[in-house]
Amino acid sequence: MKKLILTLLATSNVFAFANVAHAEYQHFHSKGYAVGCSVDSDEPIFVGCSIKGDYVKHHYKPTEECELDWGQNFALNAKTGKAEIECAGDTYIGVDGSKLLKVGQTVKGNGWTCTAIAGDGIKCIANNQKHGFILNKSKQILINK
């Protein structure tokens, strides 16, 4: 009986942690989930977005050695103003509770803005530096002027 109670307590703590952890992020996506993005509310200067793998058309590589997947995930740090390709084993697409952004709708963070654009895409720009990225089915562009 003690083992069952401890198991139930451990399980309820895992679910409680999962709910708290899930609430720390804001998720949004373009039409058809072609692009999905996430923002960590503890670090709102950073936004990460993914393009579906079968839409990847660019030739960018991560700046550091990558033993995981690369090419789908883009990141923007508003503090540094730099947009880059992430080395990651997961994507930002398909997260439960993700909000659909219709063309022209905008999400703003601490120093960055993401807007849904035509072609089922999203454009994210660091407000001060005008660096960022454009992701849609036909192109993925890093903007680091």
pLDDT digits (tens, 9 = 90+) for 35-64: 999 998 777 789 999 999 889 988 888 888
The whole-number pLDDT of residue 50 equals 96
**Which residues make beta-bridge pairs with 47?**
39, 76
The model's pTM is 0.79
| Helix (H) / strand (E) containing 14 | helix 2-23
Return the amino acid letter for 83. A
Return the amino acid letter for 143. I
- Tokens representing 57 are 């058309």
The answer to whether residues 62 and 70 touch, using CB atoms and an 8 Å cutoff, is: yes
| Rg of the chain on CA atoms, in Å | 17
Give the pLDDT confidence of 58-108 residue by residue, as tens digits.
888 888 888 888 889 999 998 888 899 998 888 999 888 899 999 999 999
State the DSSP code for 102.
P
**Which residues make beta-bridge pairs with 29?**
36, 100
Q: Phi first, then psi: what are they for 45, rounded to 5°?
A: -80, -10
The 3-state DSSP composition of the chain as helix, strand, coil percent (nearest 5) reads 20, 40, 40
The whole-number pLDDT of residue 105 equals 97
Give the pLDDT confidence of 134-145 residue by residue, as tens digits.
999 999 999 987
For the cut 90, the answer to whether the pLDDT of residue 29 exceeds it is yes
Strand order across the beta sheet in which 46-51 lies? 82-88, 69-77, 46-51, 35-40, 25-29, 99-100
